[in-house]
Amino acid sequence: MAIKVIAQRRVLKIGKNPGVKKFVMRPDLYIPIQEKKVFSEAATHSGISEGVIKAAWYAAGEVIRTWATEGHSVPLPGLGTVRFGVRSKAVEELDEVKTALISVRRIIFTPNVELKDELKNTSIQITCLDEDGNVLKRVTSSDSGDVEDSEGSGSTEGTTPSSGGGSNTGGGSDTGGGSDTSDPDPDPDGGSNSDE
């Protein structure tokens, strides 16, 4: 198995060097797997009937939604944990605290070690294309396989640390935990991130 990525040459329109041609990476489009196939494969691997697995899956989903909205970090067996949080602006004065400071509600997924290891050990195949979509070459990854830690710690100047030990470099706080390392201008060269 491999993660497929496209690196296509294009003219950058923004950033430090607009008009320059660079190879910009993006994930190759994946075909969504039908829900029925998930239940079928789970039934094959477990020996439990597809109907029972489907009923259990939906029941677990209901429990996860209920507990997460009550403020719990809920385990997703074999995957990690999920919880809800908010991203908000930080203020100095007590009378400035209001719900209008909340800019967005968040679903925060924290993968477990096994899932991170699976990603780390999965190769990445890059297909390089020119501006017209013609294949120039194919490359198989030899990177270190580092996986971004969404639970990073620390803070930067002008930010408020989150309750989860992370930081929000956007100047607010992330009361759902984890870290928000999104930069208002994450790619000064005008490229795109591979996780769009």
Q: Is the per-residue pLDDT at 40 higher than 90?
A: yes
Q: Is the per-residue pLDDT at 35 higher than 80?
A: yes
The CA distance from 150 to 196, in Å, is: 16
More confident residue, 193 or 78: 78
pLDDT given for residue 177 in this prediction: 41
pLDDT given for residue 150 in this prediction: 67
pLDDT given for residue 151 in this prediction: 53
* Whether this model's pTM surpasses 0.75: no
More confident residue, 185 or 100: 100
More confident residue, 62 or 178: 62
Nearest to 28 by CA among 138, 114, 112, 106: 138
pLDDT tens readout for residues 161-191: 333 333 333 344 444 443 333 333 334 333 4
Percent of the chain surpassing pLDDT 70: 76
Rounded mean pLDDT of the chain?
A: 79
pLDDT tens readout for residues 101-154: 999 999 999 999 999 999 999 999 999 999 999 999 999 987 888 888 765 433
Q: DSSP string spanning the chain? A: -EEEEEEEEEE--SSSSTT-EEEEEEEPPPPPPPHHHHHHHHHHHH-S-HHHHHHHHHHHHHHHHHHHHTT--EEETTTEEEEEEEEEE--SSGGG--GGGEEEEEEEEEE-HHHHHHHHTSEEEEEEE-TTS-EEEEEE--S------TT-----TT----TTS--BTTSEEETTSS-B---SSS-TTS---TT-
**Domain locations along the chain:** 2-32+71-174
pLDDT given for residue 69 in this prediction: 93
Q: pLDDT category, 64, cuts 50, 70, 90? A: very high
More confident residue, 21 or 161: 21
More confident residue, 161 or 60: 60
